[in-house]
């Protein structure tokens, strides 16, 4: 008789319970590894986005240094001029400016926005506009500038916008008795003619939370009403008769304030700032996408931006103007 084969307990396979326990442990390990990998990927993508924004911001500032450094003073006494036309009718020629820093009312304002992005109300606006004259050829001038608007340059900004670069393509011959009028035409195209301005722009960078421009005088004083009073409350430094800081100026640039109700700093005649400082705050694209899903409720968007203030990348560059005079007359 053949012996019956017997198997010891050690030679038997895994039981169903043991396999289930093993699969469960393996699943936990795989899920933990996947979660770690996913977090690493998210951090990597966030770092890549931040690097992209940083590189974009630096590239924009480098370009702005070259652009804004071209600003020149027309040397035209751009006060109101009373001239007679051929039909012997007296005509008022409006003034023009060499460089304008405009403080707009665009973007979100109020609490808590101004506490975070307005430096505790040290600055009453977050979005500025910059306009300046450029002499392309001797006696032939164009206007150039920077401003923040929506995806379409004609739309307003409700918290985050796009920085647009403007440059006129129709030079004006600034000379003769009506030179101030020609400077005024260049001013008007940017400051008042929205349709003309938005047809001569190029996109620079998206996700702009704030864009601030500060002009500085020859003694290093900020030519901004609030900043000047804060930095030099008892200062006797006077920017000069051709520099007008509005809207609180005692010497309005124009007799009719209602016809020119702007809040900003204006440089006329031979006046230019010694330097222009640009501050640019950029929100990363991922947060911009989240913001766009919140709708158009200002309070909600305001709170979202304020809560993400630490994620805003801030760029600052001071640009000296080679064409500026040693002292402002």
Reply yes or no on whether the pLDDT at 211 is more than 90.
yes
201, part of any domain: yes
17, part of any domain: no
**pTM of the predicted model as reported, rounded to 2 decimal places:** 0.77
Q: Average pLDDT, stretch 166-195?
A: 84
Q: Which DSSP state fits 73?
A: -
Query: Residue 262 has what pLDDT?
Result: 62
Query: Residue 184 has what pLDDT?
Result: 81
The number of folded domains in the chain is: 1
Query: Residue 227 has what pLDDT?
Result: 73
**CA-wise closest residue to 282 among 305, 264, 251:** 305
328, part of any domain: no
326, part of any domain: no
- Inter-residue contact 166 to 197 (CB < 8 Å): yes
Confidence band, pLDDT 50/70/90 cuts, at residue 234: low
How far is CA 240 from each of CA 96, 193, 198, 214, 276, rounded to the nearest angstrom? 17, 29, 33, 17, 17
**CA-wise closest residue to 102 among 213, 234, 227:** 213
Chain mean pLDDT for the chain: 78
276, part of any domain: yes
98, part of any domain: yes
Reply yes or no on whether the pLDDT at 257 is more than 50.
no
Confidence band, pLDDT 50/70/90 cuts, at residue 282: very high
The span from the first CA to the last CA of the chain, in angstroms, equals 127
16, part of any domain: no
Domain that holds residue 266: 43-320
Around 256, how many Cα atoms within 13 Å sit in the side-chain half-sphere?
7
Query: Residue 103 has what pLDDT?
Result: 85
30, part of any domain: no
């Amino acid at each position: 008789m053949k012996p019956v084969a017997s198997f010891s307990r050690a030679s038997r396979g895994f039981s169903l319970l043991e396999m289930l326990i093993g699969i469960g442990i393996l699943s936990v390990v795989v899920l933990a590894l996947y979660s770690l990998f996913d977090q690493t990927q998210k951090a990597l993508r966030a770092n890549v986005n931040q690097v992209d924004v940083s590189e974009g911001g630096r590239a924009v500032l480098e370009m702005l240094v070259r652009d804004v450094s071209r600003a020149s003073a027309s040397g035209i006494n751009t006060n109101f001029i009373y001239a007679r036309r051929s039909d012997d009718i007296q005509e008022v020629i409006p003034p023009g400016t060499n460089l304008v820093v405009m403080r707009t009312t665009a973007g979100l304002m109020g609490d808590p926005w101004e506490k975070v992005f307005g430096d505790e109300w040290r600055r009453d606006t977050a979005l500025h506009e910059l306009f300046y004259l450029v002499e392309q050829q001797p006696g032939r001038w164009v206007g150039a500038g920077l401003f923040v608007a929506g995806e379409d340059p004609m739309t307003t900004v409700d918290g985050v916008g796009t920085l647009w670069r403007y440059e006129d393509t129709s030079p004006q011959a600034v000379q003769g008795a009506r030179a101030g009028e020609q400077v005024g035409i260049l001013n008007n195209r940017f400051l008042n003619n929205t349709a003309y301005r938005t047809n001569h722009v190029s996109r620079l960078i998206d996700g702009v939370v704030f864009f601030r421009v500060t002009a500085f005088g020859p003694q290093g004083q900020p030519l901004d009403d609030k900043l000047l009073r804060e930095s030099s409350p008892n200062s006797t430094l006077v920017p000069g008769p051709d520099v007008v800081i509005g809207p609180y100026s005692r010497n309005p640039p124009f007799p009719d304030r209602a016809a020119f109700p702007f809040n900003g700093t204006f440089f006329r005649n031979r006046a230019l700032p010694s330097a222009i400082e640009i501050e640019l705050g950029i929100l990363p694209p991922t947060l911009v996408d989240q913001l766009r899903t919140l709708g158009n409720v200002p309070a909600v968007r305001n709170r979202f931006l304020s809560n993400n203030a630490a994620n805003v990348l801030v760029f600052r560059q001071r640009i000296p103007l080679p064409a500026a005079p040693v002292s402002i007359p």
